[in-house]
Each structure stands twice: as structure tokens, then as C-alpha cells.
Amino acid sequence: MTKPTRYSTLFKDVQELQSELAKVHYIAEYELAVAVFLALKLSRPLLLEGEPGVGKTEIVKVLAQILEAPLIRLQCYEGLDQYSALYEWDYARQMLELRLQDPHSKDPDQLRQNIFSQNFLIKRPLLQALESHEGKAPVLLIDELDRADAEFEAFLLELLSDWQVSIPEIGTIKANIPPVVVITSNRTRDIHDALKRRCFYHWIDYPSFEKEYCILCDKVPDLSQKLAQSIVAFVQELRRRDLYKAPGVAESLDWSQALLALDAKELNPSIVGLSLGSLLKYQDDIEKTRELLNDILALANLPLMGQV
């Protein structure tokens, strides 16, 4: 058997983790890197909150990549229950098994034990996450926990504090190596304090100008330096405005690709007006931005309509 890999000793310091993340094209703010580093070091779950499109899910994907660990993803939704998140019995097989056995020859207790054994257990994501593969614990992503209802959070409590799951018919299943758990939330409702207590909490904010510029250059290499700078300046200015939904990093990436596809060399009012739909997703916001377009372009140090 391969020796179990402990993630806690994998990275020497935060800088090392940060540069590893950069290698797989994730430019992390220092604070986020510290949060991830500590979560790995102390085997604590990490609760990431932030506006949609700031890279919450993405960090988990790249983390699995650099840890070379399997990624198990649980997308939350209202009504998510333990049958689809934890485990379920394979009833069809159990019934077949019952038919195959002669009911009179066997002790009923023995029969029950046979049927409720690991062989008939369907493992759902949370249970899968307790198993290590080739000595490596998986990375478990519990995505958009705020979409699940409060009842579901209760299932997580035991799992996250003791890395174990109790199944009445079998007993307790415990992880040999604790998995790396990241929970994300868009904050459409507040997560219960009992759950928060068990996690490291980090709020991912919109990136700074420099970070966002790096991200853009990294992800959309065809972008010219000048255009990238203008895009970032424009988006950063938009976030300062009073919009219903400010554009996230995902939107600015989309927008850069849209601008590339439109063969734009620089930002001007007409091209911005045409492609605004990839940046802003509310009609009110789009109208407001159109009205203030010249102001924002000017503030972002860009040519005005008259000069184009």
C-alpha cells in the first residue's frame, strides 16, 4: 500500500502555495492563499463566501489539480437530503438478494446483516469523500451551500468535525485521512453558526487592479496590454458605482473574450455599448451604465467619444 500523503506538510509556506496556484493559472490574493494554506495545515474545512463570479469554485478545482487529488463535488439545492448526499441502500440488489436466499434456512438476523452490509451501500459524495484513493484523500467541494436548506447543514456537522459518518445499519465510517473540504456560499442566506464555527471563514472580495490585470493576461493571452489595462480600469470603476450586480472576475473574462471576438483594439463607447451584455446582467444596470458611459470611460483614462 502506498504511504498516505499528508497535505499538511505539502507546502512549506504560503508563498510556495501561491506560486503553485499561479502555475495552474489561478492568481490568488495573499489572504486567500493564507486561508487555503491554513486549511490544509490544520485539516479544517474552509468556508468561502463572496459575490458570484469571484472564483470560489475555481480555487477548489485548481487545488485538486495541484494536490493531484480526486475532486468530489456536491452541488447543493433545496431539499438535498442524506439519500443523495450521504448514502443510499441499493434496494433493487437487496431485493434480488432476498429472493436468492431461502428464507427458512437462514437466521433472519444473519440475513439482515448480509443485506445491510457495505456491498449494498451506494456511496454518495459525502461518504465517498471519506475514502482515500492510493493514499490520497480527496478534495470535497460543497458548492453553494446557501442553496440547500437549513436541515441539510445538520448532516454536515458530524462529518466536518470528526470526519465520520454514522450509518445506523453498519456503524460509523471514519476517514483514515481527513479530506480537504471547501464549502462555498453566495450568501443568499446566512449559514448556521454551528457550521461556521467548524470552518475557517474567508470572504473573497473583488481583486485589486494589479491582480485582475494579471488574471486577464493569464487567462486571455491574446489580449493586448493596453486593452487589458483599459478593461480592468473600466470594470474596477463599474464596481465603484451603485449597481445592482457588479461584474465579477468571471464577467470581465467573458467581456475580454467578447471584445477579442469583436476584434476590438481599444475601448470606445460604441464597442462598449455593444458588448455590455456580457458584463452586466440587469437591464437597469446596463441602462445606467450607458447613461454614464462617457464619465466612466473618462475616469478609466480612456478616449472620449469626441476624440475617437
CB of 189 to other proteins, least distance (A): 5
* Interface with other proteins, residue 109, by CB under 8 A: no
DSSP symbols for 106-149: S-HHHHHHHHTSGGGEEEPHHHHTTS-BTTBPPEEEEETGGGS-
Q: Are 139 and 72 in contact (CB under 8 A)?
A: yes
CA 117 to mean position of chain CA atoms: 33
Q: Residue 73: beta bridge partners?
A: 141
* Interface with other proteins, residue 115, by CB under 8 A: yes
H or E segment to which residue 48 belongs: strand 46-50
* Interface with other proteins, residue 155, by CB under 8 A: no
CA 17 to mean position of chain CA atoms: 18
Residue type, 104: H
Q: Which one of residues 13, 16, 31, 151 is an interface residue with other proteins (CB under 8 A)?
A: 151
* Interface with other proteins, residue 77, by CB under 8 A: yes
* Interface with other proteins, residue 166, by CB under 8 A: no
Q: Are 51 and 206 in contact (CB under 8 A)?
A: yes
Residues of this chain, 13-72, that bind other proteins according to CB under 8 A: none
Q: Does residue 226 sit in helix, strand or coil?
A: helix
Span from 11-19, 81-89, 122-130, 251-259 in contact with other proteins (CB under 8 A) = 81-89
Measured CA to CA, the distance from residue 178 to residue 180 in angstroms comes to 7
Whose Cβ is closer to other proteins: residue 41's or residue 290's?
Answer: 290
Whose Cβ is closer to other proteins: residue 72's or residue 80's?
Answer: 80
* Interface with other proteins, residue 171, by CB under 8 A: no
Q: How many CB atoms lie within 10 A of CB 18?
A: 20
Residues of this chain, 85-104, that bind other proteins according to CB under 8 A: 88-89, 91, 94-95, 98, 103
Q: Please count the residues of this chain forming the interface with other proteins, following the rule CB under 8 A.
A: 27
Span from 1-9, 21-29, 111-119, 129-137 in contact with other proteins (CB under 8 A) = 111-119
**Cell of residue 189, nine digits:** 442566506
Question: What does the binding site for other proteins look like in residue numbers (CB under 8 A)?
Answer: 77-79, 81, 83, 88-89, 91, 94-95, 98, 103, 108, 111-112, 115, 149-151, 186-190, 242, 244, 284
